Amino acid sequence: MRSTRARVLFGLAFIGATLAPSQPVARGAHPGADGGLTYPVTAGIRVHAITANTLYDLALPGARDVAWTPDGRFVAYSVPEGDAPGLYVADSAGCDVERVTTDAADRAPNFDGQALYFTRDETTFTLDYDWDAETSPVTGTPEVWATDTTDVAVSVLEARWAYVEPPAETHPDEHVLLLDDIFARHSTVEVFRSPDPIGGIEWSPDGSILAFEASPLDGGVQVFVADVTADPIEPEQMTDGSQDASSPAFSPDGDTLAYLRGSAIVRLLDLATGDDVFLSQQAKGNLDWQPIVVPAAVRPTETSTSVTLDEPSAGPGLHAFTVTVDPAPAEGSVAVTIDGAEPYPVELEADTGIVQDVATLDVGSHTIGAEFLGSCPHLASGGQLTAEVPPPPAFSDIADSPFRDEIGWLVGAGITNGCAPDLFCPNDEVTREQMASFIARALDLPDASTDYFVDDDESTHEGDINRLALAEISLGCTPQYFCPNRPVTRQEMASFLARALELAATSVDYFTDDDGRTHEPDINRIAEAGITTGCGPGRFCPVRIVTREEMAAFLYRALN
């Protein structure tokens, strides 16, 4: 039992001598020296700043035994149940989480300046702890520190450790709490023995007092403290025996002892006055005291995420929506889900907490969900919207059109409302000014402050014509002229769309009737993109005028 522990003992003696001056948290060592009392709750781990009377939760599900590093930068905790049991280590914000063991029996974590100790059954193991690490401070694989030894607690300041020996040959019916001096051989001192298990071992910050849970002669479990500087050491029961009491934890200034009454009630015992007060009844596991409360500025921020449709329109097609994250993070992304499909990421606008996107929705009910991940995956917040897309206006003149669905999409996307009440005029020719409005609305082009052309001043489409010119989708029919009332040919339509969508060039010549034409490269680009298949086998009919129903089909294919 002793051989492995003796080997590690020498190594830790050197470590203790090297690191001890910088690591202990002495009485009154920092402002608000009560730190943050920590205990598992349903949501994870709760940190309760006693003096400030504030609390916040680290979303670390399943946590039970809790232990902070001496500097309060990391917390270890056990997860005894679920699909991924074992010991975990998280940063003080609860965001950077690492699973360091995989055994459900691992419990009672405890740090010194160089190692994480824990108990598995009746054996104590250690993992290396890197004091200077910014992330993932616990490394390596568990090594046996000592067999037949449990619940190790180390006082770096006093260079001593306490541990429990379960029943053995020398004490077959008793558990024994012992002390060892790191530097002195043959220095083992007995503190307490009991026929029932002893645990919850906790050193006071100055290393002079040892607290633990054990069974008194009249049964149950109570909290004891022992002045280990006294000779002999005489443990004193600190709780009144009316209910079980366990898991003692000293405040960083050493003036208060927190403990569990029953299985869930947290109480605070003032060691100077004896005042014993209620704090919480939500604890789900053992207590520990974080030496320094994490400043609010670096704690993970809980957010709310909402989804709204932007001016919902009728009919199938593109529907714009907005996701808002509150409070607005400096950066991050949301995962958007449309009708239960695979989520896709969309970056938030910097410092606004807003993201805008569009979804292709048919007539009927749809669900748009969004989840903000931020920098802390355990605090993901989500929201969703159930939207009803109504059918498009009933045009009386499209019953025989082969492009009825595409016309419905065009109306639903807010690109057009028809040519008159109840009419779409599917066979009317599309003029250049109408084409400008179709494209400007479909692509939501920015407004232009420049008046680019002299022949559109009387046109209701002038604003959209200028938006098209600003985007360099059209430079007009001649310098300073747009020819707004001239019908659009199929070849001109090809160039409008190729420039608007920035389609890639192709070396394939798809049609035979456009050879040598100025628009031929753009015709091939929209064919390559699947926006057109021509007007017949091998033909595009480049000079034929585009109708309104054909324009609906071209735009639908281009944007879907």
Identify the pLDDT of residue 326. Answer: 81
**372: enclosing H helix or E strand:** strand 364-372
One domain for residues 370 and 230:
no
One domain for residues 228 and 340:
no
CB distance 343 to 310 below 8 Å: no
Give CA–CA dist 30/536, Å, rounded: 84
Let me know if residue 394 belongs to a domain: no
Question: What CATH number is associated with residue 325?
Answer: 2.60.40.10
Identify the pLDDT of residue 547. Answer: 95
Let me know if residue 250 belongs to a domain: yes
Q: With CA atoms as reference, report the closest residue to 491 among 544, 547, 417, 414.
A: 544
Let me know if residue 554 belongs to a domain: yes
One domain for residues 359 and 461:
no
One domain for residues 270 and 408:
no
Question: What CATH number is associated with residue 237?
Answer: 2.120.10.30
Last residue of a domain, one of 332, 363, 389: 389
Q: b/e per residue, 385-413, with b = 16+ CB within 10 A?
A: bebebeebbebebbeebebbbbbbbbbbb
One domain for residues 555 and 488:
yes
**In the 3-class helix/strand/coil scheme, how is 300-351 assigned residue by residue?**
CCCCEEEEEECCCCCCCEEEEEEEEEECCCCCCEEEEEECCCCCEEEECCCC
**14: enclosing H helix or E strand:** helix 2-19
Establish how many alpha carbons lie within 13 A of residue 152's alpha carbon, considering only the half-sphere containing its beta carbon: 30
Last residue of a domain, one of 249, 277, 297: 297
One domain for residues 69 and 82:
yes
Let me know if residue 109 belongs to a domain: yes
Last residue of a domain, one of 389, 423, 441: 389
pLDDT single digits (tens) 78-129:
999 999 999 999 888 787 889 999 999 999 999 887 889 999 999 999 999 8
One domain for residues 82 and 213:
yes
Provide the token pair at 514. 């456009």
With a CB cutoff of 8 Å and minimum separation 6, the contacts of 114 are 12, 15, 19, 128, 129, 131
Residue 76's Cα: distance from chain center in Å?
20
Identify the pLDDT of residue 10. Answer: 32
One domain for residues 381 and 482:
no
One domain for residues 309 and 274:
no
Tell me the average confidence (pLDDT) per consecutive run of 10 residues in the chain, 560 residues long: 36 32 30 69 82 76 89 90 94 86 94 88 92 86 91 82 92 93 77 94 92 89 95 93 93 90 91 90 87 54 73 67 81 85 86 83 82 65 75 80 86 81 91 92 91 93 94 90 95 93 94 94 95 93 95 88
Q: Please state the pTM of the whole predicted model.
A: 0.56
Identify the pLDDT of residue 488. Answer: 95
**CA torsion, points 496, 501, 507, 512, in degrees to nearest 10?**
-40
Burial of 467 (0-12, 13-18, 19+ CB in 10 A): buried
Number of domains in the chain: 3
One domain for residues 352 and 273:
no
CB distance 141 to 162 below 8 Å: no
* Sheet with 44-49, edge to edge strand ranges: 54-58, 44-49, 36-41, 288-290
One domain for residues 356 and 317:
yes
pLDDT single digits (tens) 246-305:
999 998 888 899 999 998 899 999 999 999 999 888 888 889 988 765 554 445 556 777
One domain for residues 314 and 290:
no
Rounded (10°) angle between helices 490-500 and 548-559: 30
The range of the structural domain enclosing residue 352 comes to 301-389
The pLDDT mean for the chain works out to 84
Let me know if residue 477 belongs to a domain: yes
Let me know if residue 396 belongs to a domain: no
Let me know if residue 91 belongs to a domain: yes
Let me know if residue 399 belongs to a domain: no
